[in-house]
Amino acid sequence: MVLSGKSWVDTGAQFIHGASDANPVYSLLKQHNLLSELVTEEGSELFLNDKGSKVDTEFANRMYEAGEEIIWRKHEGLIGKSLGEHFAEESQQLIQKWGSPEEEQHKILSILHLVGKNYFCNMGDDLNVEGKMFMLKDKLLEDLPKDRLLLNRPVSKVYWEGSFRNEEGHQFPVCLLCENGEQILADHVVVTVSVGYLKTAASTFFDPPLPQEKLEAVEKLGFGCLNKIFLEYEEAFWESDISSISLVWEGETPADLSSSTTRWIKSLQHFTVMRPKETFGNVLIGWCSGNVAEHVETLTEQELTAPTTSVFSGNPSIPVPKRVLRTQWQSKKFIQGTYTYIPPGIDAKIMDKLAEPLSSSKKPSVVLFAGEGTIKELYGTVQGALLSGHREAERLAQHYGRAVSTTAACSLPDQEN
Ligand SMILES: Cc1cc2nc3c(=O)[nH]c(=O)nc-3n(C[C@H](O)[C@H](O)[C@H](O)COP(=O)(O)OP(=O)(O)OC[C@H]3O[C@@H](n4cnc5c(N)ncnc54)[C@H](O)[C@@H]3O)c2cc1C
């Protein structure tokens, strides 16, 4: 996506979760010299209340950290509850434990409310590699023979129990029928479509249909939505060292974590400042998730601009952004959301079921499954998607008695639950 014809923005992944040499995406970026060009600038956080005034940064950061601690120890007492419900309960207990005066309680809860809205990923340090993920994709594509790569071929059906003959008379167990009528014959197919897509298409996409336990896995897994709203300003209204702006809604508490669409602006998590300014200009990214993210996809540019600007309206000199863009991951037919998640009460091992290959009556592993939703240790991440692909490549290599050398040598982290 391009803003003002000069800077591009990432519509999808932009962080390496757990940035270290053990992370295969980090290693690949490093190997392709994409990390050396990265400009990382430490910045400060700005907390603004809904009247446009600054909230004391030291106080806000202290409360925010207290909230984060609740999230990090979430596994205690999280049985059968959503993280949001657990967080709301623990926040109340924290306030009672501190015995804070009533007017301070409101302030504390409104900061904790911010924590509850945010997305957390406990995989180690996050590295913002804005713009580099899709450069990496282009670099990786250079290694693929161009005549082997077919893009823009939506598949409408995977036939996997057949004997399909090509012009040379070779027989194949798999036939992919594309939406344009083209047929692609294969010995094996690795299906990497999203869990979101499978939720609507799984029952008709495969012939023969998927086994019941796989359909159940698709049904039971959650597929959430995260959208970004890019606001581009003529001039920055924030100081040059600011890296994020959080809006503190006074009077809101973690228990107010509703996903009411009429209050969508209150559900924005925070705004990230795209840095450095020389590369990106004056751009903020607003983050939203869940029902609110879906609602944001339906709004017009005008409907997006007016309230996002008015939340900063304590300062009348703040102009309207000159451009607004937002992602629409839920509406994309071939994704239908963003991340797989594990709903309360569902065992993560269900992802192993989704990952199991299908064998036809004549040949093993004719349909293999990869993608972030098939890897319980790293779902929701680019490295998870990558390693799930390596896992299936390795499966096929073993089947044919070949050695593989991939970054799959990177070990998976231990699963906490
Ligand atoms: C807004 C956003 C922010 C994110 N931020 C981060 C981040 O900072 N760090 C991180 O690690 N991860 C992040 N992620 C998650 C990460 O992008 C995903 O986990 C990863 O891309 C999943 O890869 P995948 O190959 O499993 O699936 P996808 O990337 O969804 O690829 C599936 C592919 O299948 C194709 N497809 C579907 N149906 C068909 C069909 N019928 N025929 C042909 N093709 C089909 C789709 O078009 C798509 O290209 C983010 C995701 C989003 C959306």
**Residue 110 sits in the same domain as residue 159:** no
Nearest CA among 262, 266, 244 for reference residue 110: 266
Residue 225 near ligand 1, beta carbon < 6 Å: no
In a domain, 97, yes or no: yes
Q: Residue 382: CB within 6 Å of ligand 1?
A: yes
Tell me if residue 16 falls in helix, strand or coil: strand
Q: Are residues 69 and 212 in the same domain?
A: no
- The C-alpha atoms of residue 8 and residue 155 are separated, in whole angstroms, by 29
Tell me, in angstroms, the distance from the centre of ligand 1 to residue 227's CA.
Answer: 13
Q: What is the pTM of this model?
A: 0.89
70, 98, 117 - which closes a domain: 117
* Token pair recorded at residue 46: 């700005």
* Within a domain: 252: no
Question: At 207, phi and psi to the nearest 5?
Answer: -140, 115
Residue 23 within a domain: no
If asked whether residues 154 and 195 sit together in one domain, one would say: yes
Task: Among 117, 141, 165, identify where a domain stops.
Answer: 117
Are 104 and 165 members of one domain?
no
- Domain assignment present for 324: no
Mutate-to-test residue for ligand 1 from 151, 197, 272, highest number of ligand atoms within 8 A of CB: 197
Angle between helices 212-220 and 195-205 (to 10 degrees): 150
Per the structure, the count of domains in the chain is 2
* pLDDT reported for residue 78: 60
Tell me, in angstroms, the distance from the centre of ligand 1 to residue 332's CA: 11
Are both 158 and 208 inside the same structural domain? Answer: yes
Which residue has tokens 């295969």?
24
Distance separating alpha carbons of residues 58 and 245, to the nearest angstrom:
14
Residue-level pLDDT at 260: 56
Token duo for residue 82: 């959503």
Pocket test for ligand 1, best of 381, 386, 390 (most atoms within 8 A of CB): 381
Contact at 8 Å (CB) between 400 and 372?
A: no
DSSP state of 185: E
Q: Is residue 92 part of a domain?
A: yes
Residues 331-352 pLDDT 10s:
999 999 999 999 988 999 999 9
Q: Does the CB atom of residue 335 touch ligand 1 within 6 A?
A: yes
The secondary structure element, H or E, covering residue 297 is none
Query: Would you say the CB of residue 226 lies under 6 angstroms from ligand 1?
Result: yes
The residue segments making up the domain with residue 193 are 150-220+336-379
User: 286 forms bridges with which residues in the sheet?
Assistant: 229, 271
Q: What is the pLDDT of residue 92?
A: 86
Task: Give pLDDT, residue 32.
Answer: 94
- Can you give the CATH number for the domain in which 357 is found? 3.50.50.60
44: left (phi over 0), alpha (psi -120 to 50) or beta: beta
Is 12 near ligand 1, meaning CB less than 6 Å away? yes
The tokens describing 8, both together, are 């591009």
For residues 340 and 211, membership in a common domain is answered with yes
Q: Alpha helices, DSSP H only, in 281-377?
A: 290-296, 301-310, 350-355
Domain-located, residue 257: no
CB under 8 A, 24+ apart: contacts of 173-178 = 173/360, 173/362, 173/363, 173/366, 174/366, 174/367, 178/153, 178/154
Tell how far the Cα of 378 is from the centroid of ligand 1, in angstroms. 13
pLDDT, residue 392, reads 97
Contact call for residues 194 and 373 (beta carbons, < 8 A): yes
Residue 14 CB–ligand 1 contact under 6 Å: yes
| 157 and 209 belong to one structural domain | yes
Q: How far apart are the first and last CA of the chain?
A: 37
Mutate to test the pocket of ligand 1, among 333, 334, 377 (most ligand atoms within 8 A of CB): 334
Question: Would 169 be classed as within a structural domain?
Answer: yes
Residues in the chain where the model's pLDDT stays below 70: 1-7, 39-41, 74-80, 119-122, 256-262, 308-317, 405-417
Q: Which residue has the CA at smallest separation from atom 12 of ligand 1?
A: 381
Both 64 and 210 in one domain: the answer is no
**Nearest 5°: phi and psi at 408?**
-60, -10
User: Would you say residue 104 lies in a domain?
Assistant: yes
Tell me which residue has its CA closest to atom 52 in ligand 1.
12
With contact defined as beta carbons under 8 Å apart, do 346 and 233 qualify?
A: no
